[in-house]
Structure 1
């Protein structure tokens, strides 16, 4: 399988690159800092920007599935996520792209904001409010497009090791508990979902 990973230089993206290669997939990895990605014979590294139509086209044109794993440490107002969504939709239309697109946002984006616990609501409000506003815009753009999307909303991310015992929650309901999850486990879900595609056109929350 040819897997395109957007935002592959760190975090969930880098974990996804490593795990996809370990499972024998071919990977095209787009990052503004691709030198952080270890070399591999089944890996194509593209040093570029996910908001560039040219870079996006190079990355996804031969993909069987796309993983969007972009994050930012910028806590100020941003349009990064919605800009990427607009670029992906434009390029996807030009390529007549029909393969699945798995997109990481976060639990607290979109309708899930009404289900976060008090601690996470406080963290988002104090430190990540603008990010989550834009992640919500990203979700809205993607879900209204013709892409075969899947929105993945992990809980609070950690640098822990992969456990493969995480919860996959495909329905928002009163009392839902979404806590911490390691980036490695999120990557594990992404690669498994790339292979099996069980939740297309659904929103999925991940938690340990």
Structure 2
């Protein structure tokens, strides 16, 4: 299948590219920096921005699934995530796009912030507050659109090895525990879900 990965240059996006290629898919990878992407006959690299309508349209046209995996190291106030969401809505509407769009935000965005552990709440409050405020806006824009969406909220990301026992949680409930998960595991979930979408129109938390 054809998978478009937006934010493919590092982290979850890069792991998703590697896994998708390993599984025989054709991948279109959009990133502001494609230097770390492997050279592969099934990989189309696009140097560009996820907030650019032209770049985004180029990347997702004809794809069977879209993965939005953009992250930022900027801890200050940002509109990156909402800007991407707005661009995505415009492009998918223009294309009459009907394939699944899987969007990575994070556990702590939207209503999930009320279910954070004390440790995670502290980390987000001290270091990632502005990011998560904007990720919440991103979720709201995506879920109010006509896209065939799925919101994926991983816990604290690590560079650990794949764990086949990671958990997927679709309901927020008192006492739930969402801790660490490796980027490789998140990529595994994304590619598996792209191949066979089982949780469309759901918010899915991921944790080990």
- Scaled by the length of structure 1, the TM-score of the pair is 0.99
Counterparts of 1:189-208 in structure 2 under 5 Å?
Answer: 189-208=189-208
Where in structure 1 are there 5+ consecutive unaligned residues? none
Question: 1:113, 1:174 → 2: CA distance?
Answer: 12
Q: Give me the whole-angstrom Cα distance separating, in 2, the residues matched to 1:114 and 1:92.
A: 31
Task: Tell me how far apart the structure 2 counterparts of residues 162 and 44 of structure 1 sit (CA, whole Å).
Answer: 26
- 1:9 lines up with 2:9 in the alignment: yes
Q: Identify the residue that residue 26 of structure 1 maps to in structure 2.
A: 26
How far off is 1:107 after superposition? 0.2
| Partner in structure 1 of residue 181 of structure 2 | 181
Q: How many residues align?
A: 208
**What secondary structure sits across from 1:81 in the alignment?**
helix
**Which runs of 5 or more structure 2 residues have no equivalent in the other structure?**
none
CA contact (8 A) 1:159 1:182 kept: yes
1:42-57 aligned at under 5 Å gives the runs: 42-57=42-57
- In the TM superposition, residue 36 of structure 1 has moved relative to its aligned partner by 1.3
Whole-Å separation in 1 of the counterparts to 2:89 and 2:131: 20
Aligned match of 2:149: 149
Task: Give the Cα separation in 2 of the matches to 1:161 and 1:52.
Answer: 33
For residues 62-115 of structure 1, what are the alpha-carbon distances to aligned partners after superposition, in whole Å with 9 as ceiling and x for unaligned? Answer: 110000000000000000000000000000000000000000000000000000
